[in-house]
Amino acid sequence: MSGEPAPSEAAVGERRGPLVHRAVHHGAYLLILGAVEFVVAMAVTQWGWNSSAPYGSYSLLHNYISDLGAVNCGAWPSGSTHYVCSPWHLVFNAGIVALGLLLLLGVILIRTGFPARRSSSLGLGFLAIAAVGAIGVGLSPEDVNYYVHAGSAVVAFLFGNLALILLGVAMFRDTRWDGYRAYTMFSGLVGLVALFLYLGHAWGPLGVGGMERLIVAPLLLWAVVAGVHLARVPTYAPTRIHGTST
């Protein structure tokens, strides 16, 4: 009989720090890609608008985001003094559909990066609903099917920001999200307050376009920040067994 002590339980299955499944990394990359490609799509489409500019340049403060996806040139709504003309509308509409698809797939892959709680399930579920709303926005441009477009936009705005608040709650007591809980909840609250101001036409100096961007920007920025964070969390490694002979 050997005089050596038996290996402790901690030594038998040793892991270092809070870890995630490898699929979470893949989902994190999709979140980052979705947010970045959509911002690029908006910038490119805006450049295409300003390059032709038959009705003046695109305004970040006074134009709706969805004006970039309008299929026709002219007054919108019909008879108004609000003119739209987006020659590269396909870029914008494809970009927001891609955002929705990447976000939807990313949510599925990152789900184990959150604790198994009801708030996590609801938050991720709401984020998936927001992704479906984004797809609806891209498939139904404002001057083609306004009611589906507007309804899809409200779904994306409302459920996306509610999702961040719920996920912030879910992060409590999960060391993988140290330093990100307050930021996540704050992002959702900013977007939600901006949504209510937007729907109430209380745009202030930001204008309708600026207020709409205040709804969307926190969610897009969170997708990048959370994606980068999750991509840096170590994945599960094979368990190391000590004290065994070969």
pLDDT in tens, 178-234: 889 999 999 999 999 999 999 999 999 999 999 999 999 999 999 999 999 999 888
Phi first, then psi, for residue 235 (nearest 5°) are -90, 165
Res. 43: pLDDT tops 90:
yes
Q: What is the pLDDT of residue 4?
A: 45
Q: Which of 72-81, 87-96, 156-165, 235-244 has the lowest mean pLDDT?
A: 235-244
Q: How many domains does the chain have?
A: 1
Select the more confidently predicted residue: 53 or 165: 165
Q: Count Cβ atoms below 10 Å from residue 5 Cβ, excluding itself.
A: 7
Q: What is the pLDDT of residue 115?
A: 86
Res. 242: pLDDT tops 60:
no
Res. 74: pLDDT tops 80:
yes
Q: Count CA atoms within 13 Å of residue 133 on its CB side.
A: 20
pLDDT in tens, 56-68: 789 999 999 999 9
Res. 5: pLDDT tops 70:
no
Q: Which of 21-25, 164-168, 202-206 has the lowest mean pLDDT?
A: 21-25
How far is 41 from 58, CA to CA, in rounded Å? 14
Tokens of 191: 């977007």
Q: What is the pLDDT of residue 237?
A: 55
Select the more confidently predicted residue: 144 or 241: 144
195 inside domain: yes
DSSP alpha helix (H) spans, the chain: 9-12, 22-52, 89-110, 118-139, 146-170, 181-199, 207-232
DSSP notation for 153-171: HHHHHHHHHHHHHHHHHHT
Q: What percent of the chain has pLDDT above 70?
A: 89
Tell me which residue of 97, 113, 123 sits closest to 26, measured CA to CA: 113
36 inside domain: yes
Q: What is the pLDDT of residue 54?
A: 76
Res. 147: pLDDT tops 50:
yes
207 inside domain: yes
pLDDT in tens, 76-117: 888 888 889 999 999 999 999 999 999 999 999 999 899 888
Select the more confidently predicted residue: 145 or 174: 145
pLDDT band for position 174 (cuts 50, 70, 90): confident
Tell me which residue of 35, 36, 184, 20 sits closest to 110, measured CA to CA: 20
Residue 39: which domain range? 18-232
Res. 35: pLDDT tops 80:
yes
Q: What is the pTM of this model?
A: 0.85
12 inside domain: no
Task: State the first-to-last Cα distance of the chain, in angstroms, to the nearest integer.
Answer: 18
How far is 231 from 4, CA to CA, in rounded Å? 41
